[in-house]
Amino acid sequence: AQKITQTQPGMFVQEKEAVTLDCTYDTSDPSYGLFWYKQPSSGEMIFLIYQGSYDEQNATEGRYSLNFQKARKSANLVISASQLGDSAMYFCAMREGGTYKYIFGTGTRLKVLA
Amino acid sequence: EAQVTQNPRYLITVTGKKLTVTCSQNMNHEYMSWYRQDPGLGLRQIYYSMNVEVTDKGDVPEGYKVSRKEKRNFPLILESPSPNQTSLYFCASSFLGSGVSGGYTFGSGTRLTVV
């Protein structure tokens, strides 16, 4: 069955350091997309980055990169040079190509320390 | 401005009183979906739609109805709300095709309280 697991309920990182948020997934569909979203304390949901299951290179968007390890079924988000504004809840998500179901993990709350 | 417009932002209602939360997008997205967000549970998919007149159940569809009569609109209907449907609801839309990322644009959310 389709599943997303985020095992870190909360994390701290020092400003200007890099941080990795973990995400593992499970699906039997060979075609799928993996996504990360940010939810600041204001509540809006912001799309950060996407990785397709057939993409050979890891996705990058500015300070965000997605460390895609297909054999391990992991899609970790790496934020480089953390900023105070990065403090938020982060959600990993997956959409299957066959069913089009689009599910989310339970999230990781990141706090960036000055 | 490209956006998903969701209304109302806040709603307090009584058990059993039918309500509709509206969702409209102006980006010509094929895919639209509804989620509920509860503490510790992340976002759970209620229903989704791949195009006009094509909808399917997500993981938590009980107690909800949807329809997609026009591409831009995807209302969420609670025929007989109950207190366990008290939650934060999000509408989201995206493109649905090969070569596109499928990253969502979200509405601002509807905080629903059923008493």
**Closest chain B CA to residue A4:** B42
Q: Percentage of residues in chain B with pLDDT exceeding 90? A: 92
Residue A46's pLDDT is: 96
Beta strands across the sheet bearing B4-7: B4-7, B19-25, B76-78, B65-66
Q: In this complex, do B35 and A104 lie within 8 Å of one another by their Cβ atoms?
A: yes
Please list, in sequence order, all residues whose beta carbon lies within 8 angstroms of the beta carbon of residue A31, skipping any fewer than 6 positions away. A53, A54, A96, A97, A98
Give chain B positions within 8 Å (CB) of A95.
Answer: 102
Burial class (CB in 10 A: 0-12, 13-18, 19+), A57: exposed
Please tell me if residue A45 touches chain B, with a CB cutoff of 8 Å: yes
Min Cα–Cα distance to chain B from A91, Å: 8
Residues 8-27 of A with CB under 8 A from B: none
Rounded distance between C-alpha atoms, residue A48 and residue B49, angstroms? 23
Min Cα–Cα distance to chain A from B51, Å: 11
Q: Cβ(B111)–Cβ(B88) under 8 Å?
A: yes
The tens-digit pLDDT sequence of chain A (114 residues) is 789 999 999 999 999 999 999 999 999 999 999 999 999 999 999 999 999 999 989 999 999 999 999 999 999 999 999 999 999 999 999 999 888 899 999 999 999 999
Give chain B positions within 8 Å (CB) of A64.
Answer: none
Query: Looking at the predicted structure, is the pLDDT value of residue B72 above 90?
Result: yes
Min Cα–Cα distance to chain B from A111, Å: 17
Residue B21's pLDDT is: 98
